[in-house]
Amino acid sequence: MPSTRISRRSILKSAALGSAAAISAPYVSGAYAAGTITMGCWDHWVPGANKALDKLTKEWGDRNKVEVHIDYITSQGEKDKLTAAAEAQAGTGHDIMSHRDWNVRIHQDQLEPLDDVVNGLIKQYGPISPVAEYMAKIKGTWRGVPTTVGSQVKPCCSRLDLYKEHAGLDFREIFPPDINKWDKAKVDGWTWDAYVTSAQKLHKAGFPVGLPLGQSSDAVDWVGGLFAAYGVVLVDAKDNIKVNSDETRQAMEIARKITETMSPEVFAWDDAGNNRWLISGKGSGIMNPPSAWAVAKRDNPKVAEQCWTHPMPKGPKGRFVGQLPQFYGLWKFSKNKSAAKDLLSFISQKSSVAQLVAASVGYDLPSFKSMYDLPTWNEVEPPKGTVYGYPPRGDEETSITGAPARSEVGAQIYNQAINTVMIAKFTQGKQKLDDVIKWAENELEGTLRS
Amino acid sequence: MAQIAHSWDRGSARPQGALSGVRRFFRRRSTVAFLMCLPLIVLVGGLIIYPALYSIHLSMLNKAQTKFIGLGNFRFLWSRDTFWMVVQQSTIFALSAVFFKALIGLFTAHLVNNLPSKGQRKWRGMLLVPWVIPLALSSLGWWWLFDPTHSALNYLGEALGFSEVPWLSDPYWARFSVILVNVWYGAPFFLIMYLAALKSVPEQLYEAASIDGANAWQKFMHITLPMMRNIIAITVLFSLIVTFANFDIVQIMTAGGPRNMTHVFATYAFMLGIRSGDLPLGAATSLFMFPILAIAAVFILRGVRKRGRDIG
């Protein structure tokens, strides 16, 4: 067998020739000459909604010669958060990762500043949601771009027929699908006291409202809206524990009255519990994005025809709806940062947002109020105008449980569901209010750990 | 054989000096055994020992993972009421589940052992089903049975005239439910271990006892139980460790609620570490039982060794 000897000299010669050829060859722009961007995105529950994002990223990728690859990661079992935690620890993974709720805060040190992208969007579209700012603008720097996909608020979704028949309230009249037709006196009459009165009537009629009191986000968010409406502050921005207040006592009393009208199973509901309650026809109202209505459209159309999404009740300090935004974060270890920023800016443009909102049948909510005039919320049915009241309109403001505490503290308060456990202890556990507040003080003190 | 090997070695002594060294190296049994075990050692090292050491390291860092704080996280947990409730709940969960798993396993093993050998295999197979189904899947099945709004069990119960049971919405029923599912899942493991142990008890011992006039209870107490003591100790220890570390059942069925009253170490650690973003505190929570279980393991295994020596 002839042997081929490779000398050191021949290797050097080949390498030199190869290098010379590579340097002198003309630059050929390939299909994806500007590289690749990988995205780990929240897997949308609306069938087909992911396709809108696929289409947008492909459009941008083709234009910029960048290959965009998206992995859709479910939030079931917090798989998306686990993936983000693993990538943050390992220092490798996707370039862009979608972060639900507090995850930007959690991974802030590994996330690239995105001021140029977000400030550019604010310049274009005006003020951004204060909840989004609270969660993603850390020490004056934006560490995430608020997404349209998956971002949501949780206003009332009520059964028109049941409320009209048993509580004498016609939400189509109070909140018609045109803000110019809203009658201030009628809108102002929709208060938490009115909510309690109507809930009691509906309970008597055999169609109770269904508000979860477990430890999932739907529960934390509606209670957050109630607490904010009464001016409850658990921990202030300077780390002072403020839960022991008259405002807390008032809000807890309202919560007790509402809980008395509900089925005891609300203490075990996950985020789908209230949806099922409404869709089954047993319930008269919930507080949720339009997902319950969308599923009812498929599974129980007669219920869907009677659903009306409208603002939350008002309290002494205003009308607040729980908002839960999502964000795109760009890892510091990403190798294609400038292209990734351009992509994020592109999918945040109003024309892109319109496609995403339409694909999600109105579920996805951008963080810019100036985008709430998109046609989807007027168009989807039945009944016509059913989700017009989904984006916060009129005097409704957004809130998040945990604010105004430092957001590290807020994340603990929110995720440990301290507000809903307070109500559960007070109502189901039949503990004295003072004892519940003392328990909350102890828990809140724990969240201040540095 | 040694001669042949010697002549082979001699024939190629000079050019293959290094090779013969390699051969000698491979000929050593311990070396070959080590090399064959190496993939497993690498796997265990990479997937168990490294993460375990890393989690110990993590548990000693501050919240931002920038500073070593020693036992600070453990001291913090020590001062929290909710954490002590989790300790209490985990202990109730693990001890009661293991007790009932062992009891049911022992009882069923006896029943199966007394079946005619022809049909025994079918029963053994059927009784193992809960242990074979992936736990996340069976927990979901149980969750549907206990569903707060549309519980299939309540539907049946009401049809039979019973009142509705708040399986998951009442904290005490919820505790019962998660323990029940754990027992359902884990009892077959005890069954199969005990069945194997029962089959290894020499029949002559029972025959001798019968001649001496011993009744069934006396045979059980003075023959079966002493002969099974080691396997009982090992299964209880193993199950205790696994049950203390349980995550799936509680996370899927209650996620720790209502009122945090069904949290076990793993779900509470998940809430603190992953959901709330305090990985060091989550790591400290999950490691809290480690020294206690390690001490228990040492004592139980020492007892097993001692009994083994006595029998030997």
CATH number for the domain harbouring residue A56: 3.40.190.10
**Total count of domains within chain A:** 2
Q: Chain B: give the shortest CA distance to residue A293, in Å.
A: 18
CATH architecture for segment(s) B72-311? Orthogonal Bundle (1.10)
- List, in order, residues 6 or more apart from A371 with CB less than 8 Å away: A125, A350, A353
B149–A412 CB contact, under 8 Å: no
A349, A307: one domain: no
ipTM: 0.81
A50, A140: one domain: yes
Question: Which residue in the set B168, B174, B259 is minimally distant from A421, CB to CB?
Answer: B259
Angle at A110 between CA A446 and CA A365, to 5 degrees: 80
A268–B166 CB contact, under 8 Å: yes
B169–A265 CB contact, under 8 Å: yes
Residue A20, domain member (yes or no):
no
Helix (H, G, I), strand (E, B) or coil at B247: coil
Full DSSP string of A129-165: PHHHHHHHEETTEE-SEEPSTT-EE--EEEEHHHIII
A81 vs A23: CA distance, rounded Å: 44
A251, A386: one domain: yes
A266, A184: one domain: yes
Model confidence pLDDT, tens digit, residues A348-380: 999 999 999 999 999 999 999 999 999 999 999
A134, A203: one domain: no
Chain B residues in contact with A299 by the CB 8 A cut-off are none
Interface test with A, best of B86, B262, B276 (most A CBs within 10 A): B276
- List, in order, residues 6 or more apart from B38 with CB less than 8 Å away: none
B169–A266 CB contact, under 8 Å: yes
A277–B62 CB contact, under 8 Å: no
Model confidence pLDDT, tens digit, residues B6-48: 444 444 445 556 667 777 776 777 788 888 899 999 999 999 8
A246, A219: one domain: yes
Cβ pairs bridging A and B (under 8 Å): 97
Domain limits at A118? 36-151+325-373
Number of neighbouring beta carbons within 10 Å of residue A249: 14
Average per-residue pLDDT for chain A: 92
- Which amino acid is present at A368? F
Enter the pTM of the model: 0.85
Q: Chain B: give the shortest CA distance to residue A58, in Å.
A: 32
Task: Show which of A311, A338, A373 is a domain's final residue.
Answer: A373
A103–B277 CB contact, under 8 Å: yes
Residue A19, domain member (yes or no):
no
pLDDT band at A4 (very low <50, low <70, confident <90, very high): very low
Residue A347, domain member (yes or no):
yes
A125, A207: one domain: no
B309 vs A342: CA distance, rounded Å: 72
Question: Which residue in the set B62, B82, B149 is minimally distant from A276, CB to CB?
Answer: B149
Half-sphere exposure of A317 (CA within 13 A, CB side): 18
Chain A residues in contact with B178 by the CB 8 A cut-off are none
A281, A409: one domain: yes
Model confidence pLDDT, tens digit, residues B206-244: 999 999 999 999 999 999 999 999 899 999 998 999 999
Domain ranges of chain B: 2-58, 72-311
A385, A442: one domain: yes
Question: What is the reported pLDDT for A45?
Answer: 85
A82, A134: one domain: yes
A267, A335: one domain: no
Q: A75: buried, middle or exposed (CB in 10 Å: 19+, 13-18, 0-12)?
A: middle
A339 vs A337: CA distance, rounded Å: 6
Q: Chain B: give the shortest CA distance to residue A448, in Å.
A: 11
pLDDT band at B300 (very low <50, low <70, confident <90, very high): confident
Q: Which residue would you say has higher pLDDT here, A64 or A449?
A: A64
Question: Which residue in the set B149, B256, B259 is minimally distant from A280, CB to CB?
Answer: B149
A437, A296: one domain: yes
Number of neighbouring beta carbons within 10 Å of residue B128: 14
Chain B residues in contact with A77 by the CB 8 A cut-off are 251
B259–A416 CB contact, under 8 Å: no
- Residue % of chain B over a pLDDT of 90: 61
Residue closest to A155 by CA, chosen among A136, A171, A135, A132: A171
Q: Report the chain B residue with the minimal C-alpha distance to residue A215.
A: B257
B195 vs B198: CA distance, rounded Å: 5
Helix (H, G, I), strand (E, B) or coil at B18: helix
